[in-house]
Structure 1
Amino acid sequence: MQIFELAEEQIPDAVALWENTGLTRPWNDPYADARRALETPTSTVLAMIEDEQVLATVMAGHDGHRGWLYYVAVDPQRQGSGLGATMVDAACAWLAERGVPKVQLMVRSENTAVRGFYERLGFTDLQILALGKRLDAGA
């Protein structure tokens, strides 16, 4: 299995994975998120593909200082097999290649099960509160 940048025609498969793993929300358009990430040099969507099936993804982007990870997803039948760690490592490498010195991610407060996964990968609670504001209905 290899990791590739997601191709435009694979976006529906990635979105299906994100929906299947509970990562999407009605107020975000995951198709637009994926397209936006693939259109700019400061972001990407990496995917692990096997037999033309998207098994795992991670979206990575940066502002030059902080890298961010989004849509870290692994096919539920393959969870626990190391694919998630492999994808996070690949995204961190992608960011490091661009000179980004740190990486962060947000975990929804109700998603307590995934905290241990990220802690095992070296992520720590930054003791910050993330605030947000919507600029348009589709952002």
Structure 2
Amino acid sequence: MNLRPFLAADQPQVIALWHACGLTRPWNDPAKDIARKLTVQPELFLVIEDAGPIVASAMFGYDGHRGWVNYLAVAPSHRGRGLARQLMAEGEARLTALGCPKLSLQVRAGNAQAIAFYEHLGYATDEAVSLGKRLIADQ
């Protein structure tokens, strides 16, 4: 297993991984999400490869106030091996090195497995309501 920054050639495999993990939604074009990420802190877009194929990914970012993680994905065939924990630990270390005081994330309502995973890592529910507004339509 090799944890490293995303490379442009990884895009088809990463998008296929996100589809396999149920992370994509019709209103988010994954290719556009990747292109956007590559313009801001591309070194914080991490993947894990297993002798070639991409089997895990996570996008981290830091806006000067708070860090975020998006698109944490582990291939169904590679779950239970600690890859998500490894990605989170690496992302946390990189954000800490940038002076980031807090890492936030969002989990889709009803995803009890993901919530339990993050709670096991020490994350807790913030008493906040997440609001969003689409500024650029991907469709």
Same fold per superposition (TM over 0.5): yes
1:137 and 1:30 mapped to 2: Cα distance? 13
- The code of the aligned residue for 2:22 comes to G
Decide whether the 8 Å contact of 2:6 with 2:42 is kept in 1. Answer: no
Q: Secondary structure at the match of 1:71?
A: strand
Per the alignment, residue 73 of structure 2 pairs with 73
Write the deviation string for residues 79-134 of structure 1: whole angstroms up to 9, x where unpaired.
Answer: 11111111111111121121111101000002122111000001100021100111
Q: How many residues align?
A: 139
2:33 and 2:90 mapped to 1: Cα distance? 19
2:49 and 2:14 mapped to 1: Cα distance? 10
Where does the alignment leave 5 or more consecutive residues of structure 2 unmatched? Answer: none
Per the alignment, residue 50 of structure 1 pairs with 50
Please, what TM-score do these two structures have when normalized by structure 1? Answer: 0.94
Q: Which has the larger share of strand?
A: 1
Decide whether the 8 Å contact of 1:42 with 1:62 is kept in 2. Answer: no
Per the alignment, residue 59 of structure 1 pairs with 59
What is the CA distance between 1:42 and its match in structure 2?
A: 7.2
2:54 and 2:42 mapped to 1: Cα distance? 22
User: Structure 1 residues 3, 92: closer, same or farther in 2, change over 3 A?
Assistant: same
User: Structure 1 residues 24, 63: closer, same or farther in 2, change over 3 A?
Assistant: same
Write the deviation string for residues 24-59 of structure 1: whole angstroms up to 9, x where unpaired.
Answer: 100001111112112223773100012210011110
Q: How does 1:93-112 map to 2 (within 5 A)?
A: 93-112=93-112
